[in-house]
């Protein structure tokens, strides 16, 4: 599957869908969503709280994410993630980033 590019195509398709989903949520706490395939970065606006605090809240919702540069949340689901599982994970991200920190 790797040689045939199946995972790569799937990653590109799901990643594009996921980034669109995050943009479409129009979250006031989000300054930018970017990525390549399923590697997704979510930049928080200044004053929205730290990425670390958001990642800790995501962990409480069952999502493991990594903070970087104080304002960026990194998502890196596995290449074999099912769309339904990714959709659930994005629901958690939207829920956490829609709720003020604190």
Question: Which CATH number is 6-95's, of 3.40.50.300, 1.20.272.10, 3.40.50.10440, 3.90.1150.10?
Answer: 3.90.1150.10
Strand-pairing partners, residue 68, are 72
What is this structure's pTM?
0.92
Task: Confirm if 70 and 51 have CB atoms less than 8 A apart.
Answer: yes
Average pLDDT rounded to a whole number, residues 7-27: 96
Q: pLDDT tens digits for 57-75?
A: 999 999 999 999 999 999 9
**Distance between CA atoms of residues 47 and 70, nearest Å:** 11
Task: Let me know: does 18 contact 87? Beta carbons within 8 Å.
Answer: no
pLDDT of 1 strictly over 80: no
User: How far is the C-alpha of 71 from the C-alpha of 82, rounded, in Å?
Assistant: 28
Please report, for the chain, the start and end positions of each structural domain, with discontinuous segments joined by +.
6-95
């Amino acid at each position: 599957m790797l040689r045939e590019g199946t995972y790569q195509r799937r990653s590109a398709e799901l990643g594009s869908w996921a980034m669109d989903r995050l943009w479409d949520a129009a979250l006031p706490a989000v300054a930018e969503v970017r990525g390549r395939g399923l590697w997704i970065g979510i930049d928080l606006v200044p004053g929205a709280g730290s990425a670390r605090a958001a990642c800790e809240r995501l962990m409480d919702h069952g999502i493991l994410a990594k903070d970087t540069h104080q304002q960026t949340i990194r998502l890196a689901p596995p290449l074999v993630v099912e769309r339904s599982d990714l959709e659930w994970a994005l629901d958690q991200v939207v829920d956490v980033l829609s709720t003020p920190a604190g």
